[in-house]
């Protein structure tokens, strides 16, 4: 496939992720619709369709989940960075909720999206375990690998991290306003760069998945303790 076409395709998929989140949360105002559009159609179906079309689906999945190729140091990196991110998410959201002027509006927005106290445990589990895995497979797996075929490694890391951070503008802005939404997006971009670096050093998914899982754990704990 032509280099320019590959690059355009990868960028299109990056923009599609943000579009899916915007449609789900802003237009339809539904977490379920967002999960279907973003997690299923973007994060699952795009890599699967490419893998089937190229005849490389089994090889890609075997490579991503190759336990035999995962060194102990990779798991340690995931746990260490994830623990730091978990604590950073907890402390950052705690401080953010002290300064956001309309923090009382966050819970009603989440309820309008379909989240309630009755579903909080299921939502907590889904975000921590499923969301973290699907995002890593898409942004540090599929998209980063595609970009590395056509641009320099650092450029691939920057682009994949940019598109990973981009849809967080939607989430951060709706919940916390433009100013803090921008701050959150910048932080997500930096974390995305770190995960891209870890993924290149430790190719199987486990290191970045564990790190991402623990980061999402911090966010969900903050949601459970201070918002719901």
pLDDT of 17 reads 97
> Rounded to whole angstroms, what are the CA distances from 123 to 29, 162, 184, 224?
16, 26, 21, 10
pLDDT of 46 reads 94
pLDDT of 66 reads 67
- Residue-wise pLDDT tens for the chain (228 aa)? 567 887 898 899 999 999 999 999 999 999 999 999 999 999 999 999 988 888 776 777 777 666 655 568 889 999 999 999 999 999 999 999 999 878 889 999 999 999 999 999 999 999 999 999 999 999 999 999 989 989 999 999 999 999 999 999 999 999 999 999 999 999 999 999 999 999 999 998 999 999 999 999 999 999 999 998
- Whole-model pTM above 0.85? yes
Domain residue spans of the chain: 3-54+72-227
pLDDT of 119 reads 94
3-state secondary structure the chain: CCHHHHHHHHHHHHHHHHHHHHHHHHHCCCHHHHHHHHHHHHHHHHHHHHHHHHCCHHHHHHHHCCHHHCCHHHHHHHHHHHHHHHHHHHHHHHHHHHHCCCHHHHHHHHHHCCCCHHHHHHHHHHHHHHHHHHHHHHHHHHHHHHHHCCCCHHHHHHHHHHHHHHHHHHHHHHHHCHHHHHHHHHHHHHHHHHHHHHHHHCCCCHHHHHHHHHHHHHHHHHHHHHHC
pLDDT of 101 reads 78
pLDDT of 7 reads 86
pLDDT of 189 reads 98
pLDDT of 1 reads 53
pLDDT of 4 reads 85
């Amino acid at each position: 496939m032509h280099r320019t076409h590959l690059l355009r395709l990868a960028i299109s998929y990056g923009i599609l992720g943000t579009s899916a989140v915007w449609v789900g949360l802003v237009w339809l105002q539904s977490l379920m619709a967002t999960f279907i559009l973003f997690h299923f159609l973007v994060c699952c179906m795009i890599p699967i369709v490419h893998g089937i079309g190229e005849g490389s689906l089994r090889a890609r999945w075997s490579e991503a989940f190759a336990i035999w190729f995962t060194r102990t140091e990779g798991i340690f990196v995931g746990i260490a960075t994830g623990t730091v991110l978990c604590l950073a998410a907890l402390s950052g959201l705690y401080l953010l909720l002290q300064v956001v002027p309309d923090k009382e509006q966050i819970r009603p927005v989440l309820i309008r999206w379909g989240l309630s106290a009755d579903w909080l445990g299921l939502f907590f589990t889904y975000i921590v375990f499923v969301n973290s895995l699907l995002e890593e497979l898409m942004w540090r797996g599929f998209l980063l690998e595609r970009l590395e075929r056509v641009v320099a490694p650092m450029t691939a890391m920057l682009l994949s991290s940019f598109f990973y951070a981009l849809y967080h503008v939607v989430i951060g802005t709706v919940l916390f306003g433009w100013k803090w939404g921008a701050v959150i997006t910048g932080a997500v971009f930096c974390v995305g760069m770190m995960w891209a670096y870890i993924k290149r050093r430790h190719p199987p998914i486990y290191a970045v998945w564990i790190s991402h899982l623990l980061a999402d754990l911090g966010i969900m704990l903050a949601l459970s303790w201070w918002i719901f």
